[in-house]
């Protein structure tokens, strides 16, 4: 279609006005102007969208830390439900970060962040399963793996914030 647009603009310039080709060329030009003027995929848009998801990620971390600190006070059913919920939230965040339009300088880190979130979502599901089946050894092992794998989330998210000059929201630690 781009080649057709170029041909139709050339035809228009030669005075061969075809209503259909002119309309296509004009529409293409207007779309291009709208994309530039609207800032589609702009750095500011990425920063704003990243900030929203990063705030949710930070809250997930706080909720997870609280659940681990208070695990001894929860029954297995409640604790496994919390970790199932954490897993779902981590997967949603991976999807949310995947919907962003990152600048090229952070694109690889966004991909790493999504992979790390998927990995910890699996770890959280493993913790939930171990707790639900009353397997303390598996729960400890899955929890240790979760905290090791969470380093990938912290590293990737921090690299994105640093590269883009994104500050954590007040109160988000």
Query: Token pair of 136, please?
Result: 């303390």
pTM summary value: 0.73
Helix, strand, coil % over all residues of the chain, rounded to 5: 85, 0, 15
In this predicted model, what pLDDT tens digit does every residue of 34-78 receive, in sequence order? 333 333 445 789 999 999 999 999 999 999 999 989 988 989 999
CB 154 within 8 A of CB 112: no
* pLDDT for res 172: 56
DSSP code of residue 73: G
Phi first, then psi: what are they for 153, rounded to 5°? -65, -50
CB 145 within 8 A of CB 116: no
> Is it the case that residue 87 has pLDDT exceeding 60?
yes
- The CA distance from 84 to 106, in Å, is 30
* pLDDT for res 68: 86
Q: Which has the closest alpha carbon to 87: 51, 63, 113?
A: 63
* pLDDT for res 171: 58
Q: Which has the closest alpha carbon to 129: 74, 81, 65?
A: 81
**Rounded (10°) CA dihedral 62, 65, 70, 76:** 100
Among left, alpha and beta (phi > 0; psi -120 to 50; other), residue 42 is beta
């Amino acid at each position: 279609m781009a080649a057709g647009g170029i041909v139709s603009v050339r035809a228009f310039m030669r005075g061969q006005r075809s209503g259909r080709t002119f309309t296509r060329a004009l529409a293409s030009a207007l779309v291009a102007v709208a994309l530039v003027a609207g800032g589609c995929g702009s750095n500011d848009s990425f920063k704003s969208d990243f900030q929203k998801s990063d705030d949710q990620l930070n809250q997930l971390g706080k909720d997870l830390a609280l659940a681990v600190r208070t695990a001894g006070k929860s029954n297995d059913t409640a604790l496994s439900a919390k970790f199932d919920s954490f897993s779902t939230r981590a997967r949603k965040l991976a999807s949310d970060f995947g919907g962003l339009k990152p600048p090229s300088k952070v694109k690889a880190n966004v991909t790493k962040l999504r992979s790390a979130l998927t990995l910890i979502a699996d770890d959280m599901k493993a913790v939930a399963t171990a707790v639900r089946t009353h397997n303390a050894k598996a729960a400890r092992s899955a929890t240790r793996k979760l905290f090791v794998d969470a380093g990938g989330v912290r590293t990737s998210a921090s690299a994105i914030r640093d590269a883009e000059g994104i500050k954590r929201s007040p109160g988000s630690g």
